[in-house]
Amino acid sequence: DKDRDIAPCSPRRSGSFAETPSRPAAAALSSYAAALGVILIFFAMFSVKLVIFDRGCNIDAGEFGLFRVEEATRYRYAKLVSEGKKIPDIDHRIQHPEGLNVKKHFTTLSQRVLGGSYRIFRFKMPFHKFVIYFMFLYSSLSVFALYKTSRLLGGGRIMSLAACAFYAGSFASGSRTIAGGLVEEDFALPLMFFALLFVLKALHSRKRLYPAAAGLLLAGAVSAWHVSQFFYLILTGILCFIYIWRPEKRDTIFNLLAPVIAILTVSGMIVPVLRGGYFLLSFSQLLGYAFILTHLAVLKCRFFRKNIFTAGALLLLFAGLLYLISRPILKEHAKN
């Protein structure tokens, strides 16, 4: 009898538990919904840019007149790579009669990626369409890094999605893309967004992968777009300020920034456009060298460890000395 009394109740109990989702299941569902939201923003951003660009330029009409001035030059180089040809070291078609030193004055990373991808995967669509689709898709990848960055900074899923939507809908995020179709910053900006993401991850983790990833992404950014050096300079300056102002964070900042500086230094040696522009003596690199010298001095002398003012003065001293030493070299470089 007791069994008969209990048996009818057991299905209702199991049903009641099934109707109330557990917290992990709800969290997973919320995470999937947020991921879907970011993907929708990504494709919406791509679609809007493509539609507006197509209305103004008519992609189906062909490549003639599709790109202008600098974009036309980049398109020509990308097409040369797609055809298995070499980008000229000295381009006489740009600057006649002496020619222009392409390796020294042009960032050709995006053109090599575009042309190489088209050649390797042998896409059937015309090359000019591939360039447009690739750049519009690639430039929209920033929203994924932006979402993760917003989450790391303490934003909830809804507010992080709002940040992505705000960025995707802002005039600044797509105006240059729509106007030019093949602009350098579109290749560099996603790298910068993801570099910032890994910098934030490195500040909260001891994984060595994060500083290395940030350094490689920044190296790609400065190799693809000259203005990326300002981003690198500002980022280095902020980290140096935290290093000085927060003595307890100094080891964390050094473990993050030292690999980044090392990777950028190697890039300055091997990337032609960085080597030609004396990137190794740029303000961002000089500040990085001064930071490393300051950290070594702090480790050697106890006087600098706790006193933020003396550590800050030491950083400024090293930066000033490096600046004075490098000026004659850069002046001679400017003459040439």
pLDDT tens per residue, range 21-56 = 577 888 888 899 999 999 999 999 999 999 999 888
Q: Flag whether pLDDT at 9 surpasses 70.
A: no
Q: Is the CB of residue 114 less than 8 Å from the CB of residue 67?
A: no
Tokens coding 191: 């790298």
Q: Calculate mean pLDDT across residues 303-329.
A: 88
Segments in 246-282 forming alpha helices (H):
250-270, 272-276
Q: Name the band, by pLDDT with cuts 50, 70 and 90, for residue 105.
A: confident
Report how far apart, in Å, the C-alpha atoms of 104 and of each of 57, 271, 278 are. Answer: 32, 10, 10
303 vs 7: which has the higher pLDDT: 303
- Angle at which helices 109-121 and 127-139 cross, to 10°: 120
pLDDT at 18 over 80: no
8 A C-beta contact, residue 312 and residue 295: no
So what's the pLDDT on residue 10? Answer: 45
Q: Is 48 helix (H, G, I), strand (E, B) or coil?
A: helix
**How does the average pLDDT of the chain come out, rounded?**
89
What pLDDT shows up at residue 333?
67
What is the reported pLDDT for 305?
72
Q: Is 84 left (phi over 0), alpha (psi -120 to 50) or beta?
A: left
CA angle 13, 16, 20 (to 5 degrees): 145
**Long-range CB contact pairs, 330-336, < 8 A, 24+:** 330/278, 330/281, 333/278
- Long-range contacts, 136-139 (Cβ 8 Å, 24+): 136/46, 136/49, 136/50, 136/53, 136/177, 137/46, 138/186, 138/187, 138/190, 139/49, 139/174, 139/177, 139/186, 139/187, 139/189, 139/190
Q: What is the pLDDT of residues 239-270, one digit of tens each?
A: 999 999 998 899 999 999 999 999 999 999 99
Question: What is the pLDDT, as a whole number, of residue 332?
Answer: 72
Instruction: Kindly state the average pLDDT of the residues 137-157.
Output: 94
Cα 149 from Cα 132, distance rounded (Å): 27
Type of residue found at 21: P
The pTM of the whole model exceeds 0.85: yes
Domain spans of the chain, in order of start: 183-336
So what's the pLDDT on residue 2?
44
Q: What is the pLDDT of residue 60?
A: 87
| Strand (E) or helix (H) holding 132 | helix 127-139
Q: What is the mean pLDDT of residues 59-76?
A: 87
CA distance 228 to 236: 12
Q: If you average pLDDT over residues 311-330, what whole number do you get?
A: 92
pLDDT tens, position by position, 73-89: 999 999 999 999 999 99
| DSSP state at residue 279 | G
Q: Please compute the mean of the pLDDT values over residues 263-280 and round it to a whole number.
A: 93
Average pLDDT over residues 54-82: 89
Average pLDDT of 133-154?
A: 95
pLDDT value of position 64: 86
Q: What angle do CA 93, 99, 101 make, to 5 degrees?
A: 110
- 199-239 pLDDT, tens digit per residue, is 999 999 989 999 999 999 999 999 999 999 999 999 999 99
Q: Does 15 score more than 50 pLDDT?
A: no
Rounded Cα–Cα distance for residues 179 and 135 (Å): 13
Q: Which residues pair with 90 in a beta bridge?
A: 101
pLDDT of residue 135: 93
CA gyration radius, the chain? 26
| Tokens (6 digits) for 206 | 């001891």
Q: Are 128 and 62 in contact (CB under 8 A)?
A: yes
Token representation of residue 2: 């007791």
d(CA 336, CA 331): 9
- What are the percentages of helix, strand and coil residues in the chain, rounded to 5? 80, 0, 20
Residue with tokens 């001293």: 317
Cα–Cα distance, 214 to 255 (Å, whole number): 12
Portion of the chain with pLDDT greater than 90, in percent: 63
